Amino acid sequence: DLDKISKEAKLKQLPEMVFGSNRLLLSHKGKGGVRIEFRAQPALSMVSKEENSIKVKMADKWATKMKTLKLSNNASLFDWTYTTHYNGDIQAGD
């Protein structure tokens, strides 16, 4: 599962934990019902492939520490927050 997700998502790195077989399905069975399903693979496939500007509170302090230790800042090479534009798979009812 993870190999398939990794290949399809085309990310430099997957999150440390991926529950690729899990899903969340919400459904309203009343008149005009709707189903919304959330899955890992399409969500990861829609993660931005560009550098992200989201920073945690300590990001600047951490970056300074990395420079002081003369270590590379690999964290800026990918979106470690895995921000996605995936809104779920929506299926309208009858």
Confidence (pLDDT) at 22 = 92
In this predicted structure, the answer to whether residue 88 has a pLDDT above a threshold of 90 is: yes
- Distance between CA atoms of residues 59 and 37, nearest Å: 34
Tokens 């990395």 belong to 66
Mean pLDDT over residues 3-27, rounded?
88
Contact 8, 47 (CB under 8 A): no
Tell me if the pTM is above 0.85: no
In this predicted structure, the answer to whether residue 87 has a pLDDT above a threshold of 70 is: yes
- Distance between CA atoms of residues 53 and 43, nearest Å: 19
Greater pLDDT, 1 or 88: 88
Confidence (pLDDT) at 26 = 95
39-68: per-residue pLDDT in tens?
999 999 998 777 666 667 777 787 787 778
As to burial, measured by CB atoms within 10 angstroms (0-12 exposed, 13-18 middle, 19+ buried), residue 14 is middle
